[in-house]
Amino acid sequence: MPSLETIKDQIIAIDNKFNLKLKSIKELPNILDDDELIENLCTANQEGAPSVGLLIATNKRLIFVKKSIFASHFEEFPYSKIDSIHFKSDILNGKVTILSFGNNTEFLSAFKKKLQALTEHVRQKMSEMPNNSEQTTNNYYHYGDVIGTQIQDSVLVKSNAETQVNMCNKCGCKAERGQKFCSNCGKELTFLSLSENNHMVEGKIVIDTVEVRNYLIRKVLDKKLVSYAKFRDDFGLDYTIQTFNLLKQISRDCIERNEPLLSAIVVNDDNLPGEGFFDNKTRTYLGYNGPATGSEAKKIHQRELDKLSNWKWDLKTMIVTAWNNGQHHKSGAGYGLKISLADRNQNFKKEWEHIVLEMPDYPKLIKVNIKKDSFWNGTCRELISKDIGLWMISKGDAPWSDGKPPKYRMEHSSENNFSIKSF
């Protein structure tokens, strides 16, 4: 790692009046690589944060580091992974907005001219990077209602066996198969995978893309937008790149189906999608060549929301959750399946006395009564049967840990006939 004196010499060569007593400078020997050189810098802070940090443009990446009495904070943006960078100013401050992996990050500085110069420097570094911002999608394939894509250049690659994705799930830089640590950011690598049944897997996180699609459709039917933060929380995603790749896959699927873009309902604090929503593929589909922010982008987004509201969505494949009344009987009594409001309204009819469930590896069809007020009110919606409980117990799915009931895929096959698939 470079010495502190070497780093200070680089800073002085750029700005001989720069305050070398800033605590954040002392963190740089632990952050910079041996062959990494500082090319531009400016003091800055994140909006609402009381202490000031450093924005540093090196020959490799843009870095923000902030050292306080009790903690250190570090963020990095490899130039090849920055989609856009914008500068604007008001009377008090300059503000730079960085879009990377569909997420906006903002920094403020009272040194407006220095921040603007740093922004221009980053733009120049971005222009020197290979053009890899738009990954192309091809070879669309179906497994019944299960969707999938083959996205070139290391994002999602389909094969007959589970395939590792050769990229760091923190900074997005390429990684070699079997590599333990990212050569760019140093993070221990846990590879994202796409398995044959179209589950996105990382460590113990398993995401069924049918579940994501149905989740978004239900939000549309309920006329609700969902924030990026809630979307990440609901699917247990830790990193922005996971959210970016997952929503991009959903968008590609909607384009292939010639549907409105379900990803449009995932929004930031301004109730707008991130700039990553308007990539080249999406722009072509929407017939829009304007900026990713501003009034025109808002009009295009609202137009897509209107299309989503008016579209006839098919929710024949549902994701249902195991339910219990709090008493885990070996007889199976008190067990059932919880149905979402959107799935119930889409796939069930009030005139039915019962539905018929086919369960895998269960010796008989199960009749479940739905001619009752509790199923049609606003809160319950459970399909209750001791046979459902016996089936769960036989599979080892019940009883379950508190707060962690299993989920199943449920398909509406015909009229009042349904089948359950495990996942």
Task: Read off the pLDDT of residues 272-312 as tens digits, 9 standing for 90 and up.
Answer: 898 778 888 888 899 998 888 888 889 999 999 999 999 88
* Model pLDDT, residue 133: 38
Q: How confident is the model at residue 343 (pLDDT cuts 50, 70, 90)?
A: confident
* Model pLDDT, residue 155: 28
Q: From 263, 294, 310, give the residue that closes a domain.
A: 310
Q: Are residues 184 and 75 in the same domain?
A: no
Which whole number is the average pLDDT over 156-174?
Answer: 39
Please name the residues in contact with 300: beta carbons below 8 A apart, sequence gap of 6 or more.
286, 288, 290
Q: Are 305 and 264 in contact (CB under 8 A)?
A: yes
Relative to beta strand 407-414, strand 317-324 is: antiparallel
> For position 73, which CATH number holds?
2.30.29.30
* Model pLDDT, residue 173: 55
Residue 301 burial class via C-beta count within 10 angstroms: exposed 0-12, middle 13-18, buried 19 and up: buried
- Spatial distance between the Cα atoms of 331 and 389, rounded to a whole number of angstroms: 8
- Spatial distance between the Cα atoms of 100 and 102, rounded to a whole number of angstroms: 5
Lowest-pLDDT range, 58-72, 204-218, 228-242, 360-374?
204-218
Q: From 294, 310, 326, give the residue that closes a domain.
A: 310
Q: Give the other-Cβ count within 10 Å of 203's Cβ.
A: 12
* Model pLDDT, residue 128: 83
Q: Which two tokens stand for residue 93?
A: 């401050």
- Spatial distance between the Cα atoms of 273 and 279, rounded to a whole number of angstroms: 12
Q: Are residues 306 and 355 in the same domain?
A: no
Q: Are 31 and 65 in contact (CB under 8 A)?
A: yes
The sign of the dihedral angle between the CA atoms of 173, 178, 179, 181 is positive
* Model pLDDT, residue 35: 86
Q: From 278, 310, 342, give the residue that closes a domain.
A: 310
Q: Are residues 147 and 31 in the same domain?
A: no
* Model pLDDT, residue 59: 92
* Model pLDDT, residue 164: 34
Q: What percent of the chain has pLDDT over 90?
A: 32
Residue 328, in any domain of the structure: yes
Q: Are residues 301 and 322 in the same domain?
A: no
* Model pLDDT, residue 222: 83
Q: Quick one: which of 338, 344, 349, 339 has its CA closest to 371?
A: 349
Q: Quick one: which of 305, 315, 321 has its CA closest to 403?
A: 321
Q: Are residues 103 and 42 in the same domain?
A: yes
Q: Are 317 and 411 in contact (CB under 8 A)?
A: yes
- Spatial distance between the Cα atoms of 163 and 378, rounded to a whole number of angstroms: 42
Please name the residues in contact with 92: beta carbons below 8 A apart, sequence gap of 6 or more.
110
Residue 322, in any domain of the structure: yes
Question: Could you read off the pLDDT of 53-73 as tens digits, one per residue?
Answer: 899 999 999 999 887 665 667
* Residue range of the domain that includes 72: 4-127
Peptide bond into 399 cis (omega under 30): yes
Q: Are residues 276 and 185 in the same domain?
A: yes
Residue 207, in any domain of the structure: yes
Q: Are residues 170 and 107 in the same domain?
A: no
Counting the structural domains of the chain, the total is 3
User: Mean pLDDT in the chain?
Assistant: 78
* Model pLDDT, residue 21: 87
Residue entry with tokens 């007959």: 160
Q: Are residues 298 and 329 in the same domain?
A: no
Q: Are residues 306 and 340 in the same domain?
A: no
Q: Are residues 324 and 305 in the same domain?
A: no
Q: How far is CA 21 from CA 10, 27, 291, in A?
A: 15, 12, 41
Chain-centroid distance, C-alpha 45: 26
Question: Could you read off the pLDDT of 183-220 as tens digits, one per residue?
Answer: 666 666 544 443 333 344 444 345 667 778 888 998 89
Q: Are residues 376 and 228 in the same domain?
A: no
* Model pLDDT, residue 238: 60
Residue 132, in any domain of the structure: no
Q: Which helix (H) or strand (E) holds 321?
A: strand 317-324
Helix (H, G, I), strand (E, B) or coil at 403: coil
> Does residue 341 have a pLDDT over 70?
yes
Angle at 253 between CA 252 and CA 256, to 5 degrees: 90
Residue 41, in any domain of the structure: yes
What is the number of H-type helices and E-type strands within the chain?
10, 22
Name the most confidently modeled range: 238-242, 327-331, 385-389: 385-389
Q: Are residues 34 and 74 in the same domain?
A: yes
